[in-house]
C-alpha cells in the first residue's frame, strides 16, 4: 500500500543536509521548546515524575546496571507540554517539536559529536510528522487519538535516524519499532496524563532509533496492509500515502502565543477584539456571548467547568471569557486560583457555543473556517469580532518581539517558582552555540 512512502521517508533521513537547513529557524524552534520546558519544570507532574525516576538504575540478570537518556527525553517532553505552550502544526493537529527536540538533545548530551546534525534532524522529523498527518488527516484526531503521541514517535524516530546516520534499512526498522509504541488518548486532556503522553512519545522515538542502531529489526514497511494507517485511520485516509510529499520542513510550524489548547487561540484573538471594542466596560450581566466555531473545534475542548489550571486549558468558555474580560491571556490565568475568579465565572455562564456541522469531506487539519463572536444584550449587538487565522501560524506569524517576550515569561516563571533560571540572552546564545547558529 505505502511502500513508496516508507522508502521516501528513509531516503530523506539518510540524505545529507542539502539544501542546508535554516539554522535560525532551527534555533527558534529549539529555544521555543526549551523555554516552555523551563517554564513547565515547576509543575507538580514534573516533580512527581522526577521522584518516580529518581535512582531508577536497575540491576539485570548478569549483575550489571542499566539506565539511558530516555528519562531525560521523557521529562523534558513532559515539562515542555504541560503548559500547552509548545509549538503546533495545524495540518497534522500535533505538537511536533516537544516530541522531537527533547529526544535529539538527550542523545547529543550523551554524544556531543552529533550536535551539528541537530538542525537537519529536526527539520527531517517535522517533515515526516507533516507527511503522516497529511495521510491520516483530521479523521484520526476526530476519532479521539492524541496525534502528538501517535504520529510523534515515528517522526521522532526519523529525526533520530538522521542524527545517528542510520542507513535506509535501519531507518525503516526504527520507524517500525516506534510504531509499536504509538498511543495516546484525547480522553486524558485536561489531566497530567496528557503531557505524560508527549513524554512517552519522545522516549519511544529515542528508544526505537537506538534499538535500530543496535540491529533490532521491525517490519520493512510499517505502513503496509494491517499496519499503522489501517489501524490508526479514521473513517478514511485523508490522502493516498503514495502521493503525499515528504520533505524537511521547519517553516510550517505555528508558535503558540497563549498557554492553552491551540483550538482556543482564534477564540482568544476574537475575544481580545471584543474587549477592545468594549473599552474598559465589562459585558453586562444580561448579555449573551454567542460564539460560532468550525467543525471539529470542540473535540479536545472537553472541559466545561474547570476545577484547576490544567483543566482550564481545555475549556472554550474559560478562554473566551478571560480574553473578553482582560484583553490578554497568559501564564497567570492558568494558575489554579485564577480559574475561580468571579468575573470570569460570570462571563463563562454567558457564553453560548455553536459548532458548525460538517459540510463536505472531512477537513485535513484544523486550519479551516473562522471563529465568530457576537456580544448581544436583548436585540442590541454590543460588539462583534472574528478570527480567520491562528495567532502565531504561518498565516499570522509571531513577531520577534512576541517570541522574546514569551521566552522571558517562561524563564521568569521558572525563576519565580524554583529560584533561578538563565537570563533570556544567555539562554538564546547557548542554544545557538550548541547547534552552530550565529546570533
Whose cell is 551539528? That residue is: 116
Mean pLDDT of 31-56: 93
Q: How sure is the predictor about 189, in pLDDT bands with cuts at 50, 70 and 90?
A: very high
Residue (of 381, 280, 376, 286) closest to 324 by Cα position: 280
pLDDT tens figures, 244-277? 999 999 999 999 999 999 999 999 999 999 999 9
Residues 6+ apart with CB under 8 A from 35: 406, 407, 410, 411, 427
Mean of the per-residue pLDDT values of the chain:
94
d(C-alpha 332, C-alpha 123), whole Å: 32
Instruction: Identify the bridge partners of residue 293 per DSSP, sorted by sequence position.
Output: 355
Whether the pLDDT of residue 1 is over 60: the answer is no
* Contact (Cβ atoms closer than 8 angstroms) between residue 72 and residue 80: no
Residue (of 389, 391, 382, 390) closest to 290 by Cα position: 382
d(C-alpha 85, C-alpha 8), whole Å: 32
Residue (of 182, 107, 130) closest to 8 by Cα position: 130
* Contact (Cβ atoms closer than 8 angstroms) between residue 65 and residue 58: yes
Specify the pLDDT at position 359. 86
CB atoms within 10 A of CB 14: 17
pLDDT tens figures, 163-186? 999 999 999 999 999 999 999 999
Residues 6+ apart with CB under 8 A from 169: 10, 220
Cell of 353: 457555543
Instruction: Identify the bridge partners of residue 68 per DSSP, sorted by sequence position.
Output: none
Whether the pLDDT of residue 55 is over 50: the answer is yes
What HEC string does the chain produce?
Answer: CCHHHHHHHHHHHHCCCCCCCCHHHHHHHHHHHHHHHHHHCCCHHHHHHHHHHCCCCEECCCCCEECCCHHHHHHHHHHHHHCCCCCEECCCCECHHHHHHHHHHHHHHHCHHHHHHHHHHHHHHHHHHHHHHHHHHHHHHHCCECHHHHHHHHHHHHHHHHHHCCCHHHHHHHHHHHHCCCCCEHHHCCCCHHHHHHHHHHHHHHHHHHHHHHCCCCCCCCCCCCCHHHHHCCCCCCCCCCCCCCCCCCCCCECCCCCCCHHHHHHHHHHHHHHHHHCCCCCCCCCEEEEEECCCCCCCCCCCCCCCHHHHCCCHHHHHHHHHHHCCCCHHHHCHHHHHCHHHHHHHCCEEEEECCCCCCCCCCCCCCCEEEEEEECCEEEEEEEECCCCECCCCECCHHHHHHHHHHHHHHHHHHHCCCCCHHHHHHHHHHHHCCCC
Q: How sure is the predictor about 214, in pLDDT bands with cuts at 50, 70 and 90?
A: very high
Of 66-75, 170-179, 229-238, the range with the lowest mean pLDDT is 66-75
Instruction: Identify the bridge partners of residue 381 per DSSP, sorted by sequence position.
Output: 376
Specify the pLDDT at position 115. 94
- Sketch out the chain's domains with CATH numbers: 3-232 (1.10.4100.10), 262-387 (3.30.1330.120)
Specify the pLDDT at position 19. 83
pLDDT tens figures, 278-333? 997 889 999 999 999 999 999 999 999 999 999 999 999 999 999 999 999 999 99
Whether the pLDDT of residue 64 is over 80: the answer is no
pLDDT: which is higher, 433 or 219:
219
Mean pLDDT of 237-241: 94
End-to-end CA gap in the chain: 45
* Contact (Cβ atoms closer than 8 angstroms) between residue 4 and residue 226: no
Burial class (CB in 10 A: 0-12, 13-18, 19+), 349: exposed
pLDDT tens figures, 372-411? 999 999 889 999 999 999 999 999 999 999 999 999 999 9
Whose cell is 491571556? That residue is: 329
Compute, in degrees rounded to 10, the torsion defined by CA atoms 313, 315, 318, 320. 100
Whose cell is 492524541? That residue is: 146
Whose cell is 471539529? That residue is: 296
Amino acid at each position: 500500500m505505502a511502500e513508496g512512502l516508507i522508502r521516501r521517508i528513509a531516503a530523506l533521513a539518510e540524505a545529507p543536509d542539502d539544501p542546508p537547513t535554516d539554522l535560525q529557524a532551527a534555533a527558534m524552534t529549539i529555544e521555543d521548546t526549551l523555554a516552555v520546558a523551563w517554564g513547565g519544570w515547576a509543575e507538580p507532574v514534573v516533580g512527581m515524575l522526577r521522584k518516580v525516576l529518581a535512582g531508577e538504575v536497575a540491576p539485570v540478570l548478569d549483575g550489571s546496571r542499566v539506565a539511558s537518556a530516555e528519562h531525560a527525553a521523557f521529562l523534558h517532553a513532559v515539562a515542555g507540554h504541560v503548559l500547552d505552550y509548545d509549538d503546533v502544526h495545524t495540518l497534522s493537529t500535533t505538537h511536533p517539536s516537544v516530541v522531537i527536540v527533547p529526544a535529539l538533545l538527550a542523545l547529543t548530551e550523551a554524544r556531543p559529536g552529533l550536535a551539528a546534525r541537530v538542525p537537519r534532524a529536526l527539520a527531517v522529523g517535522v517533515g515526516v510528522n507533516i507527511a503522516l498527518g497529511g495521510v491520516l488527516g483530521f479523521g484520526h484526531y476526530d476519532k479521539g487519538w492524541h496525534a502528538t503521541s501517535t504520529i510523534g514517535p515515528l517522526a521522532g524516530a526519523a529525526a533520530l535516524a538522521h542524527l545517528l546516520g542510520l542507513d535506509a534499512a535501519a531507518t525503516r526498522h526504527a520507524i517500525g519499532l516506534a510504531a509499536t509504541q504509538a498511543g495516546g488518548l484525547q480522553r486524558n486532556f485536561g489531566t497530567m496524563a496528557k503531557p505524560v503522553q508527549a513524554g512517552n512519545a519522545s522516549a519511544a522515538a529515542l528508544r526505537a532509533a537506538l534499538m535500530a542502531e543496535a540491529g533490532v529489526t521491525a517490519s520493512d514497511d510499517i505502513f503496509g496492509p494491517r499496519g499503522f494507517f489501517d489501524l490508526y485511520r479514521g473513517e478514511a485516509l485523508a490522502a493516498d500515502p503514495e502521493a503525499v510529499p515528504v520533505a524537511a520542513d521547519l517553516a510550517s510550524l505555528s508558535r503558540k502565543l497563549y498557554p492553552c489548547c491551540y483550538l482556543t487561540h482564534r477564540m482568544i484573538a476574537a475575544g481580545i477584539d471584543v474587549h477592545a471594542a468594549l473599552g474598559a466596560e465589562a459585558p453586562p450581566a444580561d448579555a449573551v456571548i454567542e460564539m460560532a466555531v468550525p467543525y471539529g473545534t470542540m473535540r479536545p475542548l472537553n472541559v466545561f467547568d474547570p476545577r484547576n489550571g490544567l483543566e482550564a486549558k481545555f475549556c472554550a468558555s474559560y478562554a473566551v471569557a478571560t480574553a473578553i474580560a482582560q484583553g490578554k491571556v497568559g501564564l497567570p490565568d492558568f494558575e489554579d486560583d485564577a480559574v475561580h475568579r468571579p468575573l470570569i465565572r460570570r462571563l463563562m455562564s454567558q457564553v453560548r457555543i455553536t459548532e458548525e456541522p460538517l459540510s463536505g469531506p472531512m477537513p485535513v487539519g484544523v486550519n479551516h473556517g473562522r471563529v465568530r463572536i457576537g456580544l448581544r444584550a436583548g436585540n442590541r449587538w454590543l460588539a462583534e469580532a472574528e478570527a480567520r487565522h491562528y495567532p502565531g501560524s504561518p498565516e499570522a506569524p509571531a513577531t520577534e518581539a512576541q517570541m522574546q517576550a514569551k521566552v522571558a515569561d517562561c524563564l521568569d516563571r521558572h525563576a519565580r517558582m524554583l529560584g533561578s533560571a538563565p537570563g533570556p540572552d544567555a539562554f538564546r546564545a547557548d542554544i545557538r552555540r550548541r547547534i552552530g547558529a550565529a546570533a
